[in-house]
Chain A
Amino acid sequence: MSIWDFLLNFGPRLASGTLYTVAQFFLATIIAIACALLAGLGKLSGNWLIRGISVVYIEIFRGTSLLVQLYWIFFVLPFFGVTLPKFAAGFLSVGLNIGSYGAELVRGAIQQVPKGQWEAAYALSMSPAQRMRRIILPQAFVIMLPPWGNLLIELLKGTALVALISVTDLMFEAKQINGSTFLSVQAFGSALVIYYILARFMITPFMRWCERAMNRRLSRA
């Protein structure tokens, strides 16, 4: 079977899988950004309880595998009375996992904002919340954008694991097609190419665009 016949036959299934992957990607990104901001700011908090919770979250999710977290959330949480549908369990675990890495980026970026900026905001008698929101975070945002680009690609790669709890994403479809046709090169190869296109020609250019836009805004302000 040539690659064109293959795409003609299985294109729709690959496309529907890609749709699921993209949905997982967006939902997981939202969770990851929220967790990263909360835990990143929490780790810098003066309150020891908030700091402690953030550190525990970051270390647990960075210290174990995404696959372990995914299985735990999907198979073990029901024992505690929390039963999640597989789709939700998928993006939730990917988001929580990547969020813990993002938290360190947030913390690092906030600490990299020059001390003078903090002092200037203090001298203008801004409240701590104002200082964070109007002075520190916008600058930290620019600092952490490039590493976030890499992290989002890691997130996209992470979503492939949700296939293992039977979310019908791209990886799952590739596996199914391989199982029924034994055309491994075509099935896994086209899935690899689709992941590559998503990462290289969508996520990376979008992040570059964000970086340019943020830089422009900051220098104009």
Chain B
Amino acid sequence: MSFHWRWDFTWAILPRLMWATVNTLLASGIGYAIAMVLGLVFALLLRTGWKPLTLPLREAIEFIRSTPLVLQIFFVFYVGPQFGVRLSPWVSGMIAIGLHYSCYLSEVYRAGIESVPRGQWEAARALNLSTRDTYMRIVIPQALPTSVAGMGNYLVGIFKDTPMLSVIGVAELMQTANAIGSETYRFLEPYTLVGLIFLMLSLPTAGLMRLFETWVRRKLGM
């Protein structure tokens, strides 16, 4: 076979891939929202310092972080029916991605909170601030710049991991490209277009996140 790019075919499949892009973005957004909230819960639970809770939780986070996401997606999707719970591809995919990345984000939050010097905690205590005020007005604003960089990386990371959802049939970009490929026996255009779409979305996002990071730093006078 030889290299032969067909433009008419490209234009014919482009609308379908564009719609799939919407699904990809939606999946990244929902997954990231779940990960941000769950990650914060994990980070705060780990800060309680109550050993019977923190030790298993730390180990569980380590487990999820060091095993493949694609396997976790399969696990969530196929384990339900074995116990009589049937989850749709979307739901199980979002659970798997959200859980996987919440473990990364909890580390990002933890690193951010730990980057705040001890003196700040002590000063807040000396000023008789409540725990809430200590976190909301002293610690979190200072932890933010450190965390924003890591959070940005994982936003792009989630976006790039959504193609794994195709293995359980979520109709995102990769799944759509596979479908086009098996309908038309042309793989060159769909796969190349998917790659280009990813490049065009992830490079600007990474750039924007860097700008946002410097903006946060300046805003907080750091």
Partner-binding segment picked from A107-115, A116-124, A180-188: A180-188
Complex alpha-carbon distance, A192 and B191, angstroms: 29
Dominant secondary structure of chain B at its interface with chain A: helix
Query: Which residues on the B side are within 8 Å of A183 (C-beta)?
Result: 82
The answer to whether A189 and B75 have CB atoms under 8 Å apart is yes
Complex alpha-carbon distance, A66 and B163, angstroms: 9
Q: Does any Cβ of A come within 8 Å of B2's Cβ?
A: yes
Partner-binding segment picked from A31-39, A70-78, A133-141: A70-78
Partner of B174, one of A67, A80, A159, A171: A67
Complex alpha-carbon distance, A81 and B70, angstroms: 30
The answer to whether A72 and B192 have CB atoms under 8 Å apart is yes
Known: A65-B160, A171-B68. A184 touches B79 (CB 8 A): yes
The answer to whether B75 and A192 have CB atoms under 8 Å apart is yes
Interface footprint category on A: 35 or more
Q: Does any Cβ of A come within 8 Å of B9's Cβ?
A: no
Partner of B164, one of A63, A75, A161, A195: A161
**B141-162 interface (Cβ within 8 A of A):** 160-162
The answer to whether B181 and A188 have CB atoms under 8 Å apart is no
Dominant secondary structure of chain A at its interface with chain B: helix
Q: Please, what's the 1-or-0 string for B172-185, where 1 marks a CB less than 8 Å from any CB in chain A?
A: 00100100010000
Complex alpha-carbon distance, A185 and B3, angstroms: 44
The answer to whether B70 and A160 have CB atoms under 8 Å apart is yes
Query: Which residues on the A side are within 8 Å of B74 (C-beta)?
Result: 174-175, 178, 184, 188
Query: Which residues on the B side are within 8 Å of A78 (C-beta)?
Result: 1
Q: Does any Cβ of B come within 8 Å of A219's Cβ?
A: no
User: Can you list 21 pairs linking A and B with CB atoms under 8 Å apart?
Assistant: A63-B198, A64-B202, A65-B174, A69-B195, A71-B174, A72-B192, A157-B66, A161-B68, A164-B167, A174-B74, A175-B74, A178-B74, A178-B78, A188-B71, A188-B74, A191-B71, A192-B67, A192-B71, A195-B67, A195-B71, A200-B62
